[in-house]
Each structure stands twice: as C-alpha cells, then as structure tokens.
Amino acid sequence: MSGDSNVRPVIIKRKKVVAGDGHHGGAWKVAYADFVTAMMAFFMLMWLLNATTEKQRKGIADYFSPTIAMARVSGGGSGALGGNSVFAENTLPRMGTGSTSLKPQADASDKASSTSGEDADKAAEDESFEVVEDMLMGRSGESMVADELLEHIVTRVTDEGLVIELFETENARLFEGDSKPTALLKDLSRIIVEASYMVTNPIAVEAHTSAYPIVIAENPAWDVSAQRAAMFREQVISSGLESERVRRVTSYADKEPIRSNRMDIRNNRIEIVFLRE
C-alpha cells in the first residue's frame, strides 16, 4: 500500500485548436464599414437632391468644381459616353456645373448692378404712379375728377402696376342692362384716358360682376363680364386712347368679389391696370 501512495498522479491537458476565430477573422469588419459608409453617402446624396433647390445644387456643384483650367481629355468612344472628361474646359460651362477661364461666371458686381437697376426702374414707376393717383384722387390739392365721379374710383399700386377701380353704387350704375355704358361710365372713361397721358405704360382692362341668383337656369356672369370688358376697351379707344396700349382684356365674371356678399352691387366694377414695363 505504501508503494502505491508514492505514485504521482498523471494529469492530461487537452488544448482545443481552432483555425481562425469564430468569425473567420476581422476582414469582414473592414468590408462592412466600407458598405455602411457608401450607403450613408448615397442617402446623403438623395437627401440633398430632395431638400435643395436647383440654385442651391448648382452652388454645391460650383464649390467642388476646379478653380484652374484643365486640359480636355477624350477617350476612343463617341456619343454621350465618348470619354469626355466632366472637368474639360468646354464641358463645365455646357453642363452648368462651373466656370472656366474660357467661360467665366458673371461677376457679382454685374449682378448687383443689374438688381439695383431694376430697383431703380421700379421706384421710378412707383413715383409716376403716385403722380397719377394724386391727380385722380386730389391728394395734391387739385383733382381732375369731379366729386360726384370721385366716389366711384379707387386706386392702389400692386406688383402688377397701378390699378384704377371703377365701381357701381345703388344710386349710380355703370351699365344699362348687361353692357350698355351709362353717361357716368363714359365720363369715367374720359378721365382714364386723360390719366393715361401722364405715363407710357401698357394697359389691361378687367371686368367683374356681382353674383346672380342661384335660381337662374344659366349663369350669365361670364358673358356679361366679357361684353363689358370689350365694351370698355372700345369706349376708351374712342375717347382717345391708342389701341396699341391695350395689352390685355380679361373677364372674371363673379369669381373675384371684393365684398363678402357676392351679390353686392359693389362687386360690379371695371379695373384698369397700368402695367409695369
């Protein structure tokens, strides 16, 4: 028994050898990172195309366009895929992606001067419109319109030009029946012609009517407004206005009322617009 106790125990160690780790190495991580980066760039591009205007996209393209002239590079093909470099000297301006030494972009000072010139023209037109308004409405102390006619005139300056509105009242109508002008409208047309001598702007004539009762089988508003617009054009021309200055004649029927009650007599009106040039 003593001999057996002196025998040292035998310990067996077994090592588990695996060729590579459980994920076959780390190369897949690099490929996955490249894929995620490419997808992020793709979705960023899609977002930019959707969230920016054409002018903003052109600005982004100009930012990445080269600032030095580059030689034209061509391949052996032809057509749309003929091998032309997008950075070629004659390609950038044609594609609208930048400027080159041959075709530089417009100078900012030129754009600024053009904008300032347009503002100056608009301001000059506004001043001439104010002169016409003052003479019509008597703001300068003298009016070319009698008091009984003045209550039928409203003026306003808009982006389109000077709008002179001639409207009816319960006691003074502009038309007899559908489109026959009254003496009041004839007097007002002569005033418009006299006012037109102060400016050279082209003129637009617009006719509006109040709404007709719903019980009518056929709504005559369109026909009536068209007849009134054409009639007023003939009236101002016969009063001395040059026919070439009438740029547009439009009928709106009862589609643009100025009173909440669409049947209000005040919606019966003729609008003369001195258009901006």
Kindly state whether residues 269 and 138 are assigned to the same domain: yes
> Does any domain span residue 152?
yes
Predicted TM-score (pTM) above 0.75: no
CA dihedral sign, ordered 51, 52, 54, 57: negative
The domain that contains 263 carries what CATH number? 3.30.1330.60
* Non-local CB neighbours of 135 within 8 Å, separated by 6+ positions: 142, 143, 144, 195, 198
**Quick one: pLDDT at residue 193?**
92
Kindly state whether residues 132 and 95 are assigned to the same domain: no
> Does any domain span residue 110?
no
> Does any domain span residue 264?
yes
Ranges of the chain with pLDDT below 50: 1, 71-81, 108
* Non-local CB neighbours of 172 within 8 Å, separated by 6+ positions: 152, 184
> Does any domain span residue 9?
no
Name the nearest CA neighbour of 170 among 125, 210, 207: 210
Domain range for residue 74?
46-105
Kindly report, residue by residue over 188-234, the tens digit of the pLDDT.
999 899 988 988 999 999 999 999 887 777 889 999 999 999 999 99
**Quick one: pLDDT at residue 125?**
84
Domain count, the chain: 2
Kindly state whether residues 71 and 136 are assigned to the same domain: no
Kindly state whether residues 174 and 269 are assigned to the same domain: yes
Task: Provide the 3-class DSSP secondary structure of residue 146.
Answer: coil
Across-strand partners of 200?
none
